[in-house]
Amino acid sequence: MSLQTLTTDTIGELHHGFARSIIDAALESAYRDTEDRGGDGKPRKVVIEISLEKIDDGTVCIGLEAIAKLPKYQIPDTVAQIQAPTKKGAAPQFAFRSDSPERPVQQTIDDA
């Protein structure tokens, strides 16, 4: 293959065409996450970073990264009650209710 000029049309050809594969993989990851949890109102982004580093006179090393930036997986906060350690040197404990994450102290039918 003959020499190519680096342009938006030829970026995918970098390193035997592997650049195209990693860009496509990042796009696929953003797409899958949009399908899975896209109703959260947060954008998914694909960032393509091209680096150019001069090696010698007339030569440049071209690097390419493709990163899918997805919203983090996150749960709502759970409120817990701090319980002092019962033994010297023991760590404090945090008591919470999995059936009522917003109120750790309450009487339920199970407790009655």
Residues 6+ apart with CB under 8 A from 110: none
* Amino acid 112: pLDDT: 57
pLDDT at 22 over 90: yes
Confirm whether pTM is higher than 0.85: no
* Amino acid 91: pLDDT: 84
pLDDT at 52 over 80: yes
- pLDDT tens digits, one per residue of 85-102: 888 888 888 888 777 777
* Amino acid 93: pLDDT: 87
> How far apart (Å, rounded) are the C-alpha atoms in residues 35 and 71?
13
Structure tokens at 21: 């594969």
